[in-house]
Structure 1
Amino acid sequence: MSHETQVILDRVVLIKVDANIYGARKKLKKEDLVLADGSKLPPEDLASLGSKRLLDPDKLTVFNRLKKEAERICLRVGTRFLGGFAVPVESAAGITAELERIALDFAAAKTEFIAGYDAAVNDWVVRHPEFAGIIEQAVDSVEFVSTRLSFDFLVVSVSLPDSLQPADVARLDSKIGSLSEQMFYEISVEANQLIEQSLLGKEQVTRNALRPIRRMRDKLDGLGFLDHRVAPVVSTIDDLLARIPNKGAIEGSILQEILATAMLLSDPDKTRRHGEGLLVNQTPVVEETDVDEIAEHAELEPPMVPTAATIATEPTPVIAENVSDSPDFTDLFDGIFDDEFEPESASEDWALEVLLDKNQTKLVTESNADESNPSEHSAEPAMVTAGDDEEADDSDQDYWF
């Protein structure tokens, strides 16, 4: 097992959600159908008859909702892995507390459903009197239905025995290596939902639109150990959140930045390339003690005259602008549109124009780098925690995620 794999396994736990929901369906049989004279059913190897419902499916909606809620809770900070969810160790306690609540809600809904099961079946028969016979002959007992409704979860650590075959170790390494890919994919799904439901075509939005942004930011931050390119992306989102007004509707240029950020996150490949590009362009931080040593060394050694070879091989330092001095969306998306990009809609044309304008501004900044002192202009990205983002005028819209 590689060292990287072991580090990741040490930092996550696997949460398995086990939710069984009674389907209230039975296979439809030939004798259940009344055919007109001369009609003929296709053979079973050609087509199946499907199924018949034994009661109103709305009666089971609460169980499906609770199952989906449990999955959303796990996906909020974790990512799908081995049939469950890989969750950071430090987040496991909070997740299990919420799953315990869902288990209690599920049990209460089950008790109510079982108590009204016979009445629900009778109501279904009354609603379909012509087919009462095929419904009644397929009805399950209350005892059987009770065994088909359950909710539980399990929290385990994942590790490999020392005696495992190399091929099996390689399989786990491959699964661990795909965790970051799965994480970026899940982020892209949520970002696309945000764009479609809340951002496209809007001149202003309420602060409810920030909730998905913050959820995506927190998920990336918590799983940052899966991929070294995550941290710069989190810093990009933090920089955006730091400049959003604390009150009022969100509109104008800041809304455009939110849309552009969501469009970036909606593409896993461009999100990774953005993080990679920011890492490459980071200015090395020199500690004060190192500066003193460099100064003493410079007094002892004559200055070196740069040659054409050294100039060609030495990277040009990049000076990061201070966030407070640069409120114009000038350094969010360095290097993510290096390849040819063909927008598919007017909104994407606009987003591309915004991002390209930003890259042009970045080139001007780099051309002046030799005249600046990097230590005076570098700044740590502002970290923002979720503040008071609820207002009386917020919409009641909820998100599926």
Structure 2
Amino acid sequence: MNQSNTPNVHQLDAKALICVQLDIKLWSGRQALKREHLVQSNPLLASLPPQDLASMGSVRICDPEEVRVFARIKNEAIRALGEAGLPLLGAIGVPQPEFPAVYRKLCDIGNKFNAKAADLFTKYDANASAWKTKWQNENPSNAHLLARLPSAQQVVGKLRFDFHCYTIESPKDLSAEAGSHFDRQVTGLKGELLAEAAEVGNDMLSRYLIRQDSSSHGGKREHITQKTLRPLKRIVAKLRTFAFVDPSIAPLADVIESVLASLPADGQVDGAGLISVWNLATLLSNPANASKIAAVAQTFGADQAIMDMDAPMTVPSAEPVDTSAEVIEAPRTIVQVIPAAQDFGMETQITSVRTPTVPNAGSFVDPCAFL
């Protein structure tokens, strides 16, 4: 990709992004437990430290499930924003083309939140009374803890779902230092993208590519499914959406897409395909390495970047490998068995470049044999 044809954040002055900031308030369903409440139950607790020094905790005043629903809706809104945007100056920056869909989704989530709040308001008095009666009957000595409950209006008044949308631009007519500070914050979006890609890589390694057993070391995965590849497809879409952040972002997406295109379109992924996925996940899990490969792809293309990505290449090992034998290296090696990184709990690591490394026995080491 020609760098001069790729817009960047400086050229767009961040106006390509709509900042969205959630404004959501929840109710805990709890009431502060005061020192005098405990002393009333047990005078021996009079020696408790003062309230200003130590918190006495809280007491539940309703069924926890009645308030958990609001936390779940809040998390749904956070996920919706996270899928479409990146953290930016205390908000989430969403590209303008994506914003209408995000706005509609947040409005739908807000309507769901408000409907649940209205339902809570309608049922609160009856539910709170039943909760109070239940616990006062079961714990008569602590009945006073639930003597004063907030009203339905007070409770629902604590709930709020809203969000604010705005654009940002570099400060005008201020010092160059202030402008450069803004630029550093905005161009940090590349780091946010690579960090998100690293989460995908680490998640794939820990959840899908390393099979955990009862021992301290992970075991090999003989295959993965098409479902396992979905996070990679999602991160490609995210990289495409934010390609304007840095000229190397789109080439990194090209690398991931090239690897995905080389895999079977359906069914299980094993053998050489599994090695490719392992290498890709390992690459993405390290933002510094991903950035280097992205730069290679930007200059020399995705194919060359994939060749570089495969050196070194780490795959699961089925059996321990004796690495003490002398190894005679050809000028350009394709397979070399060396001790693995303990971070992945693996026993073997394979480094791939071009032509074979020849052990003393003269046998060729097949990378697929380790799957």
TM-score class, shorter: 0.7 to 0.9
Structure with larger RCO (C-alpha < 8 A, sep 6+): 1
Q: 1:118 aligns with which of 95, 116, 125?
A: 125
Q: Structure 1 residue 98: deviation in Å?
A: 1.4
What letter is aligned with 1:28? L
**One-letter amino acid matched to 2:17:** V
Query: Does the Cα contact within 8 Å between 1:103 and 1:152 map onto a contact in 2?
Result: yes
What are the equivalent positions in structure 2 for 1:1-400 lying under 5 Å apart? 4-33=9-38, 34-35=41-42, 37=44, 40-44=47-51, 46-129=53-136, 130=139, 131-137=142-148, 139-201=149-211, 202-280=221-299, 282=300, 331=307, 333=309, 343-345=341-343, 350=348, 352-353=349-350, 356-357=351-352, 359-360=353-354
Counterparts of 1:217 and 1:71, CA distance in 2: 20
Asked if structure 1 preserves the Cα contact closer than 8 Å seen for 2:17 and 2:95, the reply is yes
Deviation of the 1:360 alpha carbon: 3.6
**Contact 2:171-2:178 within 8 A present in 1 as well:** no
The 2-side partners of 1:32 and 1:207 are apart by 57
Match for 1:100: what amino acid?
Answer: C
Contact 2:35 2:51 in 1 (8 A): no
Q: Do the aligned partners of residues 320 and 345 (structure 1) sit closer, same or farther apart at CA in structure 2, a change above 3 Å counting?
A: closer
Q: Residue 110 of structure 1 aligns to which amino acid in structure 2?
A: A
Instruction: Specify whether residues 361 and 117 from structure 1 end up closer, same or farther in structure 2 by C-alpha distance, changes over 3 A only.
Output: farther
SS at match of 2:15: helix
Give the CA deviation at 1:77: 2.6
Letter in structure 2 aligned against 1:276: A
Give me the TM-score of the superposition, normalised by structure 1.
0.69
Q: State whether residues 273 and 336 of structure 1, in contact with CA within 8 Å, keep that contact through their aligned partners in structure 2.
A: no
Task: Name the structure 2 match of 1:301.
Answer: none
Alpha-carbon separation, structure 2, partners of 1:157 and 1:16: 11
Aligned residue for 1:145, secondary structure, equals helix
Equivalenced residue count is: 311
CA distance in 2, matches of 1:236, 1:330: 7
Task: Rate the CA distance shift 1:78–1:158 in 2: closer, same or farther, 3 A.
Answer: same
Question: Counterpart of 1:37 in 2: which secondary structure?
Answer: helix
The structure-2 alpha-carbon separation of the partners of 1:346 and 1:88, relative to structure 1 and needing over 3 Å to count, comes to closer
CA contact (8 A) 2:255 2:297 kept: no
Query: Retained in 1: the 8 A contact 2:120–2:156?
Result: no
Distance 2:45 2:36 in 1: 16
Residue ranges of structure 1 left out of the alignment (5+ in a row): 284-318, 322-328, 363-401
Q: 1:74 to 1:212 in 2, by over 3 A?
A: same
Structure 2 length-normalised TM = 0.74
Distance change in 2, residues 1:247/1:191 (3 Å): same
User: 1:28-54, CA deviations, whole angstroms, 9 ceiling, x for partnerless residues?
Assistant: 211121346377313446532222222
Deviation at 1:186? 2.3
Unpaired runs of 5+ residues, structure 2, are: 1-7, 212-220, 314-338, 357-371
* Structure 1 segments of 4+ aligned residues over 4 angstroms from their partners: 43-46, 334-337, 345-350
Contact 1:13 1:86 survives alignment (8 Å) = yes
Following the alignment from structure 1 to structure 2, what is the Cα–Cα distance between the partners of residues 64 and 145? 15
Closer/same/farther in 2, CA of residues 82 and 346 from structure 1, 3 Å limit? closer
- CA distance 1:261–1:55, change in 2 (3 Å): same
- Partner of 1:163: helix, strand, or coil? coil
Compared CA separation, residues 54 and 6, structure 1 to 2 (3 A): farther
Q: Which residue of 2 aligns with 1:309?
A: none
Q: What root-mean-square deviation, in Å, do the aligned CA atoms of Structure 1 and Structure 2 show?
A: 3.1
Q: Please tell me the residue identity of whatever aligns with 1:79.
A: L
Residues 1:128 and 1:275: Cα distance change in structure 2 (over 3 Å)? same
The one-character-per-residue Cα deviations of 1:70-89 (angstroms, maximum 9, x if unpaired) are 11111113111122211111
How far is 1:349 from its partner?
Answer: 5.6
1-side partners of 2:306 and 2:94: how far apart? Answer: 35
Query: Secondary structure of the residue that 2:192 maps to in structure 1?
Result: helix
Change (3 A) 1:320 1:233: closer
- Partners of 2:111 and 2:55 in 1: CA distance: 39
Q: % of aligned pairs identical?
A: 26
Cα distance, 1:106 vs structure 2: 1.3
